[in-house]
Amino acid sequence: MCFINNFKKNIPLAPYTTFKIGGPAKYFFEAKNSGDLIKAVKSAKKAKVPFFILGGGSNILVSDKGFDGLVIKIQNTRLACPSGRRAGRQAKYEIQDTRILADAGALLSKLVDESMKRGLIGLEWAAGIPGTAGGAVRGNVSAFGTSMSDVVKSVEALKMTELRIKNYESGECKFEYKESAFKHNKDIILSVELGLEKGDRKESKKKIEEYLAYRDKHQPLEYPSAGCVFKNPSGQHAGYLIEQCELKGKKIGNAMISKKHANFIVNIGNAKAKDVKKLIDLCKEKVKEKFKIKLEEEIEYLGEF
């Protein structure tokens, strides 16, 4: 059924995720701008086709069966908003004094690099985090004691209940640990405004290098993964709990609990989503059994499991 122009059928999703795992999307559409995005969402809703918005694919596990609906891929290019807030710009982000105006598809790593070059501080902690600005806001990404909620000033989103553009001030985003209002109200982030501070470029660069070196030493960056699988329970570290259950290095198929960091499950070669899910369930079972603590996934699932 042709419900949207220029869509594709049966497109494998594995190449669009950092896990490099997952079956095909029944329908696949690349949104070059927010007009495309809104049109695709409206078309899917009218045709009663389930849809999913895919950003950088860095925090997701796609089923081996794929997704029986429409995947709308936000390209890492400009998403100009119909409201006019971002009209006339040709880049996917813009730095104005100490503010960054970034489209949802802007790569977080690029914003870190460019803010440092401009002598702005406040984003160094995000060095090495994959994914897009929109995804980072939605999941309130955090590292080294800082999170997106500390730098977000406002968010422009497509309000799903009314299919209109709404501007959210930071306080309306309901940020919590690894959470935001957008995870629950399903509003689609179109652009974000970040507030940084002026600082020393050399010191900022030094911090970024230190954070990257830490990640390289403590995280299995040599393998495809979705980053940390579980949220840290209050006062605990999920990786430590899993390690204490002697699960480091545990393999099912070609999915493995990292020997370097137990809160990472890595794809050591054509791993299946079903095997990753089995390892996730095993971690939850063993930690619950040993510590009476219920682990909660940070990653999201797409498709049938």
Chain centroid to Cα 234, Å, comes to: 22
**pLDDT tens-digit readout, 235-251:** 999 999 999 999 999 99
pLDDT > 70 fraction of the chain, expressed in percent and rounded: 94
Residue 217, judged by CB atoms within 10 A of its CB (0-12, 13-18, 19+), counts as: exposed
Kindly tell me if the per-residue pLDDT of 143 is higher than 90: yes
Contact 104, 93 (CB under 8 A): no
d(CA 108, CA 94): 13
d(CA 276, CA 265): 7
What is the side-by-side order of every strand in the sheet holding 67-74? 8-12, 24-31, 67-74, 51-54
Kindly tell me if the per-residue pLDDT of 304 is higher than 50: yes
- In degrees, rounded to 5, the angle at the alpha carbon of residue 107 between the alpha carbons of residues 103 and 112 is 105
Kindly tell me if the per-residue pLDDT of 1 is higher than 90: no
Going by their DSSP bridges, the two strands 251-252 and 300-302 should be labelled as unpaired
d(CA 93, CA 195): 13
Token pair, residue 28, equals: 């696949």
Handedness of CA 195, 197, 198, 199 (dihedral sign): negative
Residue 260, judged by CB atoms within 10 A of its CB (0-12, 13-18, 19+), counts as: middle
Kindly tell me if the per-residue pLDDT of 90 is higher than 70: no
**pLDDT tens-digit readout, 178-217:** 999 999 999 999 999 999 999 999 999 999 999 999 999 9
When pLDDT is cut at 50, 70 and 90, the band that residue 89 belongs to is very low
Helices (H), the chain: 34-47, 108-117, 133-138, 182-185, 201-218, 238-244, 273-291
- Write down the pLDDT at residue 88: 38
Lowest mean pLDDT among 81-85, 146-150, 268-272: 81-85
Q: Which domains does the chain have, with CATH numbers?
A: 8-74 (3.30.43.10), 93-202 (3.30.465.10), 219-302 (3.90.78.10)
Contact 186, 174 (CB under 8 A): no
Kindly tell me if the per-residue pLDDT of 82 is higher than 70: no
**pLDDT tens-digit readout, 23-55:** 999 999 998 877 888 889 999 999 999 999 999
Contact 170, 48 (CB under 8 A): no
- Write down the pLDDT at residue 229: 98
